Amino acid sequence: MLVAVFATVRDVYADAPESAVIYSLMNAMLACVPALGPIAGALMARYFGWEAIFLALCISALAALPFALPKWHETRQVRKPSNRAGFGLVLKSPYFWVYTLAFGTAMGAFFVFFSTAPRVLIEGADFSELGFSVAFATVAIVMIATTRFSKRFVARWGIPGCVIRGMLMLLFSASLLGLGEIFLTASFWSYVVPMWLVAVGIVFTTSVTANGALHEFSAMAGTAVALHFCVQSLIVGVIGTGVVIALNGGTAWPLIAYTGCMAAITLAALGGLTRYKQ
């Protein structure tokens, strides 16, 4: 479903300014799902039984069907035989790898955040479950609020400029988190507020990475989007999980290490891409 949705956006909007807003909103919603989904599932299982989880998924799908079935027409371009290509063409593209790396860095930052936030805030800062939910929600609110301006900053900075600024925001946030971890105790101000800046950096980045990675593959958007999400998921799952396991998940160090190191690597890759274009 994700591949179909993102491929459709790519087919219909391509490089139009609206694509930045749509991608930003979709990624903001996706970032919240892994955090809010388990909470909703736990509540439904507790009060209505585990069967209610699958019933809710079924009802949601049925509710979407009347909107998708008559209006979601085929958007794939008719391909000529010469345009047929497989995974190899996508995987050989430096644009695909650099911007997919940036996408994985941004989404991975949120993954590491919600993987460590319960221990940091509930166990370390003595937040209640309600207080944790509110604190967590503020990060999502910042992402959604920043999305309102995505069309403007994409038009002003372009794709590389947005990614560079997004990575710089992650680096700055990592430095603030590091200072908070060293000199302060775990709190809303030392952990969540720097994450607001991470949220801004995520929106800066994810609003353009799909277009940056896939702009060469309009004739095979479905394949390219599938690979885009596959590689991004590997980055998030392998590296993100690795830092949480290797470092103390009850502190901000996994988030500091991931955002700082991955943002630096992405900036270096962007520099290499600039030299490649020249």
Q: Are 4 and 64 in contact (CB under 8 A)?
A: no
**Which fold is adopted by the domain 87-278?**
Growth Hormone; Chain: A; (1.20.1250)
Q: Are 177 and 51 in contact (CB under 8 A)?
A: no
Position 97 confidence tier, pLDDT thresholds 50, 70, 90: very high
Average pLDDT (7-23) is: 69
The pLDDT value given to residue 32: 65
Average pLDDT (56-61) is: 89
What share of the chain has pLDDT > 90, as a percent? Answer: 39
The pLDDT value given to residue 130: 75
The pLDDT value given to residue 82: 47
Q: Where are the domains of the chain?
A: 34-72, 87-278
pLDDT digit string (tens) for 209-235?
888 888 777 777 677 888 888 899 899
Three-class SS string for 23-79? HHHHHHHHHHHHHHHHHHHHHHHHHHCCHHHHHHHHHHHHHHHHHHHHHCCCCCCCC
